[in-house]
Amino acid sequence: MTNTAAAPKQDVFQAVADPTRRELLGLLGDRELPLKDLTGHFPMSRTAVSKHLRVLSDAGLVRERKVGRETRYRLNADPLLELKRWLAYFDRFWENKLSLLKHYVESSPDTGTPAAAEERLRLASPAQQPTLPHQASSVQVPED
């Protein structure tokens, strides 16, 4: 039986979607820091920074530790593995698509170069070029 009173875990993707929270994670990547030190890095109130830390904590990305009256925060990178796995799928997807494109381009005749385009234009005779509807093909210009 599940405990319905417990708050649902915050989504890791949602937690890292905010640039302030990503910056907080970066600051906490090197060392454990108290709220007062973290607040100095942002143009917002201590309460606002605390709310961002709460979202990160609810997602399991930040751990809190009480030291006397001070709460210190540190990064817990384990939930980022979920994000890494998700992104790895798209990395493989695009790597495959780019590899196929590279193979196609390298195996195709050299038709994409400027010199090849000029050659195609040179070889095209006026008879081969389509006539636009507004162009008169049989207009005679009188000579003076």
Q: How many Cα atoms occupy the beta-carbon half-sphere of 61 within 13 Å?
A: 27
Residues 32, 65: Cα–Cα separation, whole Å: 9
pLDDT at 1: 40
More confident residue, 124 or 73: 73
Q: DSSP class of residue 142?
A: P
- CATH-assigned architecture of domain 12-75: Orthogonal Bundle (1.10)
pLDDT, one tens digit per residue, over 1-14 is 444 444 445 689 89
CA dihedral defined by 33, 39, 76, 11, rounded to 10 degrees? 170
Indicate the domain borders of the chain: 12-75, 79-109
Structure-token pair, residue 73:
């925060």
The pTM (predicted TM-score) of the whole model is 0.60
pLDDT, one tens digit per residue, over 55-79 is 999 999 999 999 999 999 999 999 9
